[in-house]
Structure 1
Amino acid sequence: MATDQTQRQRFAELVKLQLQGRRFLERDQERRLLEEGLTRYGLTLEQATGVLRSAAEHDSIALEGELGTSSRELLRTLSDKRSRVSRDDFKRAVAFYRARTGVPEADAQKRVKRMMEELDLRPKPTGRVIRSRRWYRAINS
């Protein structure tokens, strides 16, 4: 039992080191840390996940997996009955994503666009005379 606690503490120190100076942890980095906890430190997935989430919460670091879930819910909420998201609502979702992650505007737009595509949400046309979705197509995925 004492070695289990020691291993958990050593893994917690590794996680703290990896999270140092970050505001956001991408899914692949999160996965690598969890794999490290499983293979090198002999922790269960539940234990490794608990240590990672605890450290991230302590340092106010957003995890992409958890942020993706809340961002998807926000997009679903902002969409209309026909599963369309207006340009203003898209900007709100991007602002939410950027506030949590600190990534540049272009990256946040690409990630939110990818989430919209995963959720089968479409952009709502904008314009007074000629309505188009050009604003959405201009975002390079």
Structure 2
Amino acid sequence: MTATDTPTRARFAELVKLQLQGRKFLDQDQERRLLEEGLTRYGLTLDQASGVLRTAAQENAIALEGELGASSRELLRTLADRRQRVARDDFDRAVAFYRARAGGGVTPADAQKRVKRLMEELDLRPKAAGRVIRTRRWYRAIEA
């Protein structure tokens, strides 16, 4: 690290703080744009820019989609049965977990879409639900 790195990092940190104002959640596209800005405009390494972004997010209690996705994936793996199926109640728990970790920065419908996408990435299937006729309609009704 040279003497010029510190002022550069500080300027990038101020840009990150400005971009995070009034937010509770930062999706992967927004995170990527900020990191690209740190790399191209400020000449930081990816590790440096990522460190500044994560520090600012943690200080301001802002959830990053990348980190939130990792913990949600682990939760879904835990909730799945031995046949890699997730019950509707467990899906709803995963959605509630996602929303809680996002600090309310994600709508319930958006959280359902994101959790469904995570299930598809993990090759998990929905478990049929219903008293008389058991279907997966509850899962198909969530727009991807």
Alignment correspondent of 2:17: 16
Kindly tell me the number of residue pairs found equivalent between the two proteins: 141
Deviation at 1:113, TM superposition (A): 0.6
Q: Deviations over 1:7-56 (max 9, x none)?
A: 00000000000011111001011011011111111111111000000000
Alignment correspondent of 1:85: 86
Task: List alignment gaps of at least 5 residues for structure 2.
Answer: none
2:12, 2:5 → 1: CA distance?
A: 11
Q: Deviations over 1:104-130 (max 9, x none)?
A: 111110110111111110001111221
Q: % of aligned pairs identical?
A: 79
Alignment correspondent of 1:57: 58
1:65-104 paired onto structure 2 within 5 Å: 65-101=66-102, 102=104, 103-104=106-107
Structure 1-normalised TM-score?
A: 0.97
1:97, 1:13 → 2: CA distance?
A: 28
Alignment correspondent of 2:31: 30
Alignment correspondent of 1:120: 123
Post-superposition, which runs of at least 4 consecutive aligned residues in structure 1 deviate over 4 A?
none
Q: Deviations over 1:86-105 (max 9, x none)?
A: 00000000001111222111
2:3, 2:76 → 1: CA distance?
A: 46
Deviation at 1:140, TM superposition (A): 1.0
